Structure 1
Amino acid sequence: MTSARRLVIKIGSALLVDDETGAVHHSWLDALCDDVAEAHAAGQEVIIVTSGAIAVGRGPLGMKGHKLRLEEKQAAAATGQMRLAHAYQESLARHKIAVAQVLITLDDTENRRRYLNARNTLDTLLKLRAVPVINENDSVATAEIRFGDNDRLAARVSQMISADTLVLLSDIDGLYT
C-alpha cells in the first residue's frame, strides 16, 4: 500500500459505531486516522468512504431498537452525518489535516455532468492536501436509487479518481481480490 499514490479506504459501520449505544468508537477512529496521517505525510492522497450515519443518528432521535422506515432512515442519516463528520474532523485535526465532507448519490456517478463535477471536486481537494470523507447522501437517497452499501460506493469513487488501491475495512469475514 505504501506504493499507492491514491488510496481509498472504506470503513464499515460495525467497526466505527458501537451497536448498543450508537456512539462513534473514537479510540478506533483515532488509530485509523493516525495511519491516514502517516500515509498523508508520505505524500499519498487518501480518501475515506465511511458508513455509520444512520447508526449514529438513531440514538439522538430516540429510534433505537426497531426497524426503521425509509423516512426514519433518512432522518437518522441527516442527524448522524453531522456527528460522523465532526468525529473525522476532530480526529484528523490532531494531525493538522483538513477534512472535507462529500455526500454522493448513485445519480452523481451515473449522470455525466454530475460525475465530472464530483471528480473535479475530489481532485481539487486532493491537490489541496485535504482528506475527503465520503458517504452516500442517505438523507435524500431512496431504496430505488441507493448504492445499497458503501462497498459499491467505494468502488465507484475509486474508479472515478483513478485510485491505485481500495481497502475495505469491515467485520465481514473474507478476502476480496
Structure 2
Amino acid sequence: MTGLTAQDYRRLVIKVGSSLLIDENGNLDAPWLSALAADIAERHSQGQQILVVSSGAIAIGSGVLGINVRRSRLEDLQAAAAAGQVALAHAYSEALGRHGIKTAQVLLTPDDTENRRRFLNARGTLQRLLDHDV
C-alpha cells in the first residue's frame, strides 16, 4: 500500500453507475447528483481534473418513454438510450453548472479504444477539454 488518497492525484476518474443515479421510482436521483456535483466542485477548486464516466441513459430514457427494459427489443433500448442521454447530459450540466463548472459529453465506443487512430483522436479531444477547464 502506498498510502495515497484521492487528494494526492492531479486527475480523478469517477465511474457512476445507473444504480446510483436512479432512485427507487426509476427517476433521476437529483439530490444524489447534487451531492456528487458539490464533491466534484470541491475537488475542482483544489485544482484537480475530474472526468465522470456515467451509465444511466437507458435507465433514464426508459422512464421518459415508458419502456420496460427487461422486455425490450434492441430498437427500444436504443430509443431509451437516445432519450435518456439528452436528459442525463442536461442533469450533469445543470448540477455542475450551479458550481460554475463547465461540462461536455464525449460518447465513446469500443472502436475508440481498439483502433489506434480513433484512440489518439479521443485522447486528444479529452485533453483539449481538460485544457479548457471542462
Report deviation, 1:19: 4.3
In the other structure, the counterpart of 1:162 is none
* Equivalent residues in 2 for 1:90-105, closer than 5 Å: 90-105=94-109
Query: Structure 2: 5+ residue runs without aligned partners?
Result: 1-5
Q: TM-score, normalised by structure 2?
A: 0.92
In the other structure, the counterpart of 1:59 is 63
Q: Secondary structure at the match of 2:15?
A: strand
1:78 to 82, 90, 107: 82
Identity level (%) = 57
Q: Secondary structure at the match of 1:8?
A: strand
CA distance in 1, matches of 2:99, 2:106: 20
CA distance in 2, matches of 1:124, 1:111: 20
CA 1:7–1:65: 2 relative to 1, 3 Å: closer
CA 1:19–1:76: 2 relative to 1, 3 Å: farther
Q: Does the 8 A contact of 2:62 with 2:69 survive in 1?
A: no
CA 1:48–1:65: 2 relative to 1, 3 Å: closer
Which has the bigger relative contact order, CA under 8 A and spacing at least 6? 1
CA distance in 2, matches of 1:65, 1:11: 19
Q: TM-score, normalised by structure 1?
A: 0.70
In the other structure, the counterpart of 2:44 is 40
How many equivalent pairs are there?
Answer: 129
More strand by share: 1
Higher CA-based Rg: 2
- Moved segments of 4+, more than 3 Å: none
CA distance in 2, matches of 1:19, 1:80: 17
Query: Structure 1: 5+ residue runs without aligned partners?
Result: 131-177
